[in-house]
Chain A
Amino acid sequence: MATRRRTIVGSPLTPTLLKELGVFDELPAAQRDFAPDGTWSHTYRVWACHGYRETGNRDVGFLRIERAPDRAGKTFTLKVDQQIVHAEGAANSIHADIECLNDRLGSPVRWHLSSRFVGTEGEPRPVLRVEERARIEGDTIEVTTNGRTFKRQGSSRLTADWCLFEALQRLPFEKESHPVFDLLEGLSVLRTGHRLSYRGTVKLPPEGDIMLHGFHRLGHGALPYEYWLDERHRLVMVVSLSRAYVLDKEAEQATALELKRERGNFQRQKRGRERGGSQ
């Protein structure tokens, strides 16, 4: 029997390596009037790597972030939509509306978050649904969920992982010291002691003419995150170990296809088992 050849990737994922692995071909063109502090919408394909070049790598979902500034310019709103595809075609969808301060790290002020699951045939699982409204009060977070209100530990230097997708675009491309901050991952899990650093530029491809600027983030509760932006300060790629967010206008459709593929495979296996069982 022929064995499937598998080659270890061997090195950390970079924009160049992601292109080499076929994760993307071209980056989508920026909208003509794109401004980091304006109104925009970015959709990222969430791609996961198993560590081999040939097998086990796939799209697992999409993340869309939309920014809308308020009239006074003191705050802005981020609308977040994320869908992650699970084995056998189950899925989780997150929707969040976040009001953020127009400060250096886009600190969240208040938000509404909804988490919903569907089963392997796309059926809603209402028993798993979570709806949260929250607001920051000093270093605590007041959260109302399922009609009850709780106070949770926050931080006086807080931002959120999704907020950084916005804030990074407003940072200058220069080596400067950034203050340490804490991070509310998924607007719910507190990760402490994070810091950002500018790490310089790479060309894509190495001899090409697209220049990307990188930042990295280090801190507790996360592997290093690398953020890659084009020269218009548009965040085009985010990588943390085996997971990459790559700007892709077709990401939502790709996720729908992945979901269909998972469900199709699962139904085929199920029918196969049933046929086997009835013989």
Chain B
Amino acid sequence: MSEKHSTQSVSRGMDRRAFLKTSGAMVLAGGGLVNSQLVSAQSSGSNILLVITDQQHIDTIAAGGCPHLETPAMDKLKNRGVSFSMSYTANPLCSPARSAIFTGRTPSETGVYVNGLPIRADIPNLGQWFSQYTDYETVYAGKWHVPKSFTSSIAGFDVVQTGIGGQGNVCDTETSRACEGFLRNRSSDRPFLMVASFLQPHDICEWLRLNTRKPDRLRYQELAGELPPLPENFGFDVREPAVLKSMRQRNEPALGKWDEQQWRYYLWSYYRHIEMVDGEVGRILQTLDETGHEENTLIVFTSDHGEGLGRHQMVRKSSPYDEASRVPLIVSLPSRIPANLTDNDHLVTGMDIVPTLCDYAGIDPPDNMRGMSLKPLFEEESVAWRRYVVTEIPGNVGRVLRTQRYKYTTCVNDPVEQLFDMLDDPGETTNLAPSSQYASILGEHRQLVREWESRLDVAPNVPNPNAWRKG
């Protein structure tokens, strides 16, 4: 079975055909990917800004339909480019996800299967690749976490600002101020690749530890009428792998025996965390505008992983459910990428970022990319695209395979599998795997996992290297 199939994109907002007609000449003039050999990018290449938030679920942007918050900066990004609604992290945990974003490889290949591990030495990161094969200035501000969360030394990048562990509320401001300073003061005519890597909304982890105990009454009474409702999939199907049950039991809501009000206050608080980082993203966008870089800067906005949001009564990350696994991915470049489009068709992953940025810089990506360049999706009418994406479960204990219709989860040494019909049941509330009616679909998805795994060059330090290769 082939990984790729041809699909016609269906998007909202501006008609893609119309966009391609008007922008086609410019796209061709801009030069496409050179497949046969590595080439240096020309100085006229677009600048690149990669903005990463930490622990942001996809449904947390006002312009994307979330009514519980104000996100003027993220709204601007959304209106400026293409957002992917089927965007999955390679792993719903910080370090593994980041290793995939910065290499285009799976976390099991980079060797970063849990937090705090370095990327395997023979796999280059984005900064190293760009430093070697382009004339881009490569600049990094904020959280890194492969392995150290904050460090002044990241191979391939000039680190302009480090940060403070566990305190996005303090250090994100400095991250955006450093980016602002860099943009205002630079005199180079070389293009830049700047990574602004924010820690928020990750401070929700501190919030959970400082609000574990259910209070007798809401601390701020005037919020009582403003708290968001519980999610529709607050209830869940208990037929789930043991690792999920144990995750839920260890988390603060179970420890503190939360009531509905505390769950809803947690949701209200999480949205404020998103607004906090939105302001910092806004500072960078404003600076791009004021320094004349807005029109010639490719902006990619994403997050390493999502957040539980009370769905399936989960908080934090690490779970295979969409709340932890689905993340924003917005790509924009005025006059080259359609504005204000939502792509609801293509399955994309954080691993697509490296090949996409290489494509726009005019160079080949490193070997063995598991991600694919998104550029053809913006510039061609019919694109051969993947049929599925795979998300790894932290600790390399499981795989989650998402196809257009279904989502399949399997964990090592656990007979309980999950299969959800994502069209009829997008909240993942009914596990279809035990039903004989779905036996063939289940079998097909197991086979797809085996097919995917057979291609991987799993790092030697990773546990369960062959768990999903067997028949």
| Partner-B contacts on A (CB < 8 A) | 8-13, 46, 48-52, 56, 60-61, 84-88, 90, 92, 115, 117, 119-120, 125-130, 145-146, 148, 150, 152, 185-186, 188-192, 195, 197, 216, 218, 220-224, 240-243, 266
**Chain B residues closer than 8 Å to A195, beta-carbon distance:** 222
Q: Which residue of B166, B177, B209 contacts A10 across the interface (Cβ within 8 Å)?
A: B209
Min Cβ gap B421→A in Å is 37
Q: Which residue of B177, B206, B256, B272 contacts A50 across the interface (Cβ within 8 Å)?
A: B206
Q: A46-B170, A189-B280, A243-B170 are in contact. Are A86 and B150 (CB under 8 A)?
A: yes
Q: Which residues of chain B from 165 to 222 have any CB-CB distance to chain A below 8 Å in the complex? A: 165-167, 169-171, 173-174, 177-178, 180-182, 184-186, 203, 205-213, 215, 219-220, 222
Say yes or no: B165 contacts A127, CB within 8 Å: no
Say yes or no: A222 contacts B276, CB within 8 Å: yes
Q: Which residue of A8, A192, A221 contacts B276 across the interface (Cβ within 8 Å)?
A: A221
How many angstroms between the C-alpha atoms of A242 and B185 in the bound complex? Answer: 33
Q: A46-B170, A51-B210, A148-B290 are in contact. Are A221 and B279 (CB under 8 A)?
A: yes
Pick out which of these stretches binds chain A: B50-58, B156-164, B232-240, B317-325. Answer: B156-164
**Chain B residues closer than 8 Å to A221, beta-carbon distance:** 70, 272, 275-276, 278-279
Say yes or no: A127 contacts B182, CB within 8 Å: yes
How many angstroms between the C-alpha atoms of A271 and B295 in the bound complex? Answer: 44
How many angstroms between the C-alpha atoms of A114 and B286 in the bound complex? Answer: 18
How many angstroms between the C-alpha atoms of A85 and B170 in the bound complex? Answer: 10
Q: A87-B165, A127-B160 are in contact. List 20 more A-B contacts (CB 8 A).
A: A8-B209, A9-B210, A10-B211, A11-B213, A46-B170, A50-B165, A51-B205, A90-B152, A92-B178, A115-B181, A117-B174, A119-B152, A127-B186, A130-B180, A145-B290, A189-B282, A216-B220, A218-B223, A221-B279, A242-B206
- Digitize B270-288: 1 where CB-to-A-CB distance is under 8 Å, 0 elsewhere: 0011011011101100100
Say yes or no: B213 contacts A117, CB within 8 Å: no
Q: Does B261 contact A (CB under 8 A)?
A: no
Say yes or no: B185 contacts A128, CB within 8 Å: yes
How many angstroms between the C-alpha atoms of A174 and B201 in the bound complex? Answer: 34
How many angstroms between the C-alpha atoms of A116 and B454 in the bound complex? Answer: 51
Q: Which residue of B69, B164, B273 contacts A48 across the interface (Cβ within 8 Å)?
A: B164
Say yes or no: B171 contacts A84, CB within 8 Å: yes
How many angstroms between the C-alpha atoms of A152 and B289 in the bound complex? Answer: 11
**Chain A residues closer than 8 Å to B220, beta-carbon distance:** 197, 216, 218, 224
Min Cβ gap B383→A in Å is 39
What is the interface residue range for chain B against chain A? 35 or more
**Chain B residues closer than 8 Å to A152, beta-carbon distance:** 286
How many angstroms between the C-alpha atoms of A60 and B149 in the bound complex? Answer: 16
Q: A86-B171, A117-B178, A240-B169 are in contact. Are A146 and B164 (CB under 8 A)?
A: no
Say yes or no: B210 contacts A242, CB within 8 Å: yes
**Chain A to chain B: the 10 pairs with minimum beta-carbon distance, closest first:** A51-B209, A128-B181, A87-B150, A189-B279, A87-B162, A221-B275, A242-B206, A10-B212, A86-B162, A92-B174
How many angstroms between the C-alpha atoms of A240 and B210 in the bound complex? Answer: 11
**Chain A residues closer than 8 Å to B211, beta-carbon distance:** 10-12
Q: Which residue of B164, B282, B290 contacts A60 across the interface (Cβ within 8 Å)?
A: B164
Residue with the greatest number of chain B CB neighbours at <10 A, chosen from A50, A52, A61, A127: A127
Residue with the greatest number of chain A CB neighbours at <10 A, chosen from B152, B207, B273, B282: B152
Residue with the greatest number of chain B CB neighbours at <10 A, chosen from A60, A87, A266: A87
How many angstroms between the C-alpha atoms of A241 and B390 in the bound complex? Answer: 36
Say yes or no: B279 contacts A191, CB within 8 Å: yes
How many angstroms between the C-alpha atoms of A9 and B213 in the bound complex? Answer: 9
Closest to A121 in B: B152
How many angstroms between the C-alpha atoms of A92 and B180 in the bound complex? Answer: 13
Q: Which residue of B70, B166, B290 contacts A220 across the interface (Cβ within 8 Å)?
A: B70
Closest to B207 in A: A241
**Chain B residues closer than 8 Å to A189, beta-carbon distance:** 173, 279-280, 282-283
Q: Does B151 contact A (CB under 8 A)?
A: yes
Say yes or no: B167 contacts A243, CB within 8 Å: yes
Say yes or no: A49 contacts B184, CB within 8 Å: no
Q: Does B128 contact A (CB under 8 A)?
A: no
How many angstroms between the C-alpha atoms of A125 and B163 in the bound complex? Answer: 15
**Chain B residues closer than 8 Å to A146, beta-carbon distance:** 184-185
Say yes or no: A185 contacts B279, CB within 8 Å: yes
**Chain B residues closer than 8 Å to A125, beta-carbon distance:** 160, 181
Q: Does B23 contact A (CB under 8 A)?
A: no
How many angstroms between the C-alpha atoms of A48 and B160 in the bound complex? Answer: 23
**Chain A residues closer than 8 Å to B170, beta-carbon distance:** 46, 48, 60-61, 84, 243
Q: Which residue of B70, B177, B184, B273 contacts A223 across the interface (Cβ within 8 Å)?
A: B273
**Chain A residues closer than 8 Å to B280, beta-carbon distance:** 189
Residue with the greatest number of chain A CB neighbours at <10 A, chosen from B160, B162, B163, B222: B162
Q: Does B40 contact A (CB under 8 A)?
A: no
Q: Please list 28 pairs of residues, one from A and one from B, whose beta carbons are closer than 8 Å in the complex, sorted by A's number.
A: A50-B165, A50-B206, A60-B167, A60-B170, A84-B174, A86-B162, A86-B163, A86-B171, A87-B151, A87-B162, A92-B174, A119-B152, A127-B160, A128-B185, A145-B184, A188-B283, A192-B70, A197-B220, A220-B272, A223-B272, A223-B276, A224-B219, A241-B169, A242-B166, A242-B206, A242-B207, A243-B170, A266-B152
**Chain A residues closer than 8 Å to B152, beta-carbon distance:** 87-88, 90, 119-120, 266
Q: Which residue of B210, B255, B286 contacts A241 across the interface (Cβ within 8 Å)?
A: B210
Min Cβ gap B62→A in Å is 11
Min Cβ gap A84→B in Å is 6
Closest to A91 in B: B174
How many angstroms between the C-alpha atoms of A86 and B175 in the bound complex? Answer: 11
Min Cβ gap A243→B in Å is 6
How many angstroms between the C-alpha atoms of A197 and B150 in the bound complex? Answer: 37
Say yes or no: B286 contacts A8, CB within 8 Å: no
How many angstroms between the C-alpha atoms of A278 and B148 in the bound complex? Answer: 22
**Chain B residues closer than 8 Å to A52, beta-carbon distance:** 209
Q: Does B344 contact A (CB under 8 A)?
A: no
Closest to A7 in B: B209
How many angstroms between the C-alpha atoms of A189 and B70 in the bound complex? Answer: 13
Closest to B173 in A: A186
